[in-house]
Amino acid sequence: MFYTLFERALKTEQHTIFEDWDDWINSIYEKNQWKSTKRSSPLIWRELLERGGRGTLVGNLDDFQEYAQCYYGTILDHFMTNSSALFRLIAEENIQQYTKDIEFKNQYIEQTLNPYYVCIIGAHHPCAYELFPNLFSTELFPNRDICLRLTTNDSSKLSYLQGMAMEIEDLACKQFYNIEISLQNNEKFYKNMDFIIIIDDYFFEEKQKYFNTLLNEKIKLNKTYDEANLFDDERPPFQPEKMTYDLKKAFNYYQILANQIQSNIKATCQILIACSNSTMIATQAFIKTIKSIPTNNILGLARTIENQAKARIGKKLNADIK
């Protein structure tokens, strides 16, 4: 708590248990150019309310009592005998008023808030980074306060999502309200969701492992050839094994994810599936598993597969596919 004093006393509640105390006290000292090290509560100073100018620091409670005694003399003798109890009462009133102000502010925010809950499943995927500028545009979700939720199936990627969350907050987008992160198996995390984007590609990590294995094999093979002093034309071509896609495991993976989502999902929730290599499997698993929302609310984005098919056909026909 603190006081500003001149011919009349002004009181504003600020309590040391709240994080903004240090910021507030630093700004007051900087504004009035005070050099004192006394920064305890209560903080009392004088300022010329009618003429302006920087305030004159009185100090803490003991300094104020001494100041008032010197200023008013014997008039305050009776007041000073009961000062401790009186100041404790003032402190209790301050924290009660401060708590009421915070509750009123939160109630006002809740009344004026129009939240729209958006969840991105598989937010550790590289393409997630490109979604946010479009996601927070007023054209996509007009007049909405977006509450963003990011999930991952890998606990080691949570730190990456935390860094991403900090960057999203730094964007200071008009429609952005808050952001939370969690693991995908947290069923309560999907409660009240309005829109879910699934970019968790089951085969993405499988491909990463496959290519890393191929790279290591090629490095070992080249090392063997170097030790044998073979020239490039003497080295047999590297023929890797083709990657196998376990479609049954992928279907079961998305079926488990669908079961986790549907336990707390809203009836009006919309789900967009854009998993690149496993879009069709994921869409089929979700349609067969989730019964609490209409099937037309589940949409698989198959344009990527369509473009891949066009590219392959165009390459065989030597056509320019645009």
pLDDT of residue 173: 81
pLDDT of residue 184: 87
Specify the DSSP element, H or E, that contains 313.
helix 303-317
Rounded to whole angstroms, the Cα distance separating 249 from 258 reads: 14
Of 164, 151, 86, nearest to 120 (Cα)?
Answer: 151
Q: What percent of the chain has pLDDT over 70?
A: 85
Domains of the chain, each with CATH number or no CATH = 2-110 (no CATH), 113-200+245-317 (3.40.50.720)
pLDDT of residue 110: 72
17, two tokens:
């248990």
What is the model's pTM? 0.60
Residues 212-229 pLDDT 10s? 888 888 888 888 877 777
Q: Is the pLDDT of residue 45 over 70?
A: yes
| Beta strands 195-198 and 115-121, pairing class | parallel
**Identity of the residue numbered 138:** T
**Identity of the residue numbered 70:** C
